[in-house]
């Protein structure tokens, strides 16, 4: 179950999101660094070859841990990172996509990940305080310089994707999306038509759908699975461009998430979920 990201990077569709290997509140180092490193290494053992991180996770912590755990990297490993957020304090996320700041972030990510080129560099948010064309032209410059292979966007609508495509090919979109929150369904439809990878963040949210005796609970019981595993299986079934990246700081939870790849939902299951 793979997807050709950008037409030339083959990734297994169930990846790993590396936000939660940092400290509490996505701030600072993890309380157990050995456990965080073990999760990253186990992900590779389980066949994960797509890891999503960001400069702002920590900040810097997630990228540094990925390199510490996995460098030199497996030949097929695709690492995606993001720039565009400042972290002035724990719990604070401030858009900053000024060209000079994006440049600083990119150079830092290259250094921490110990690579000469980022496989997928994503604009974490379009900064409303900075002219949009300045942000897009900066990303395009990174690609022309050979420091970025492919470019993606996060939390955008289809119109923004179209505007960005005037500057560079958009190969991925990372928007919040899950069984319980499908606000971005029109963007997913657009990405499916255009063969753009859609990376749903917060993919495990199930909300009221997991209520006892509800459809999701019944289907989970039928497959001897958890509701979260069914949520991941549903995402993989829902569109061929969906690339879920569930994150965790636990090897046990990681293994549970990855087991969702083996679940095959029937048409009846999908209809019952709605």
Q: Which amino acids are annotated catalytic?
A: 57
> Six-digit token pair at 57?
């996770």
Please state, as a whole number, how many other Cβ atoms lie within 10 Å of the Cβ of residue 100.
Answer: 9
Residue with tokens 């030199």: 72
- Which pairs with CB-CB distance under 8 Å and at least 24 residues apart come from 85-91? 85/54, 85/55, 85/56, 85/124, 85/125, 86/56, 87/27, 87/56, 87/58, 87/59, 89/27, 90/24, 90/25, 90/27, 90/28, 91/25, 91/27
17, 45 contact by CB (below 8 A):
no
Dihedral sign computed on CA atoms, order 93, 96, 102, 104: negative
242, β-bridge pairs: 198
Separation between Cα atoms, residue 209 and residue 169, nearest integer Å: 37
């Amino acid at each position: 179950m793979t997807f050709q990201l950008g037409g030339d990077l083959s990734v297994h569709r169930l990846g790993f999101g590396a936000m939660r290997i940092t400290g509490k509140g996505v701030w600072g180092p993890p309380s157990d660094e050995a456990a965080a490193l073990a999760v990253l290494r186990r992900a590779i053992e389980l066949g994960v070859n797509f890891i999503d991180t960001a400069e702002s996770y920590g900040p810097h912590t997630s990228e540094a841990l990925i390199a510490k755990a996995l460098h030199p990297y497996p030949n097929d490993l695709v690492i995606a990172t993001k720039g565009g957020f400042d972290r002035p304090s724990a719990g604070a996320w401030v858009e900053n996509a000024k060209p000079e700041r994006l440049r600083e972030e990119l150079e830092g990510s290259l250094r921490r990940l110990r690579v000469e080129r980022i496989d997928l560099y994503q604009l974490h948010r379009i900064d409303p305080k900075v002219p949009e064309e300045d942000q897009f032209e900066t990303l395009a410059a990174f690609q022309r310089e050979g420091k970025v292979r492919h470019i993606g966007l996060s939390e955008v609508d289809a119109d923004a994707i179209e505007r960005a495509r005037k500057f560079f090919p958009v190969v991925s979109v990372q928007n919040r999306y899950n069984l319980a929150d499908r606000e971005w369904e029109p963007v997913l439809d657009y990405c499916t038509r255009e063969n753009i990878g859609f990376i749903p963040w917060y993919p495990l949210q199930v909300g009221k759908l997991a209520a006892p005796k509800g459809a999701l609970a019944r289907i989970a019981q039928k497959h001897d699975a958890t509701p979260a595993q069914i949520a991941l299986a549903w995402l993989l079934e829902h569109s061929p461009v969906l690339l879920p990246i569930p994150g965790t700081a636990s090897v046990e939870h990681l293994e549970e998430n990855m087991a969702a790849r083996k679940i095959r939902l029937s048409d009846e299951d999908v209809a019952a979920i709605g």
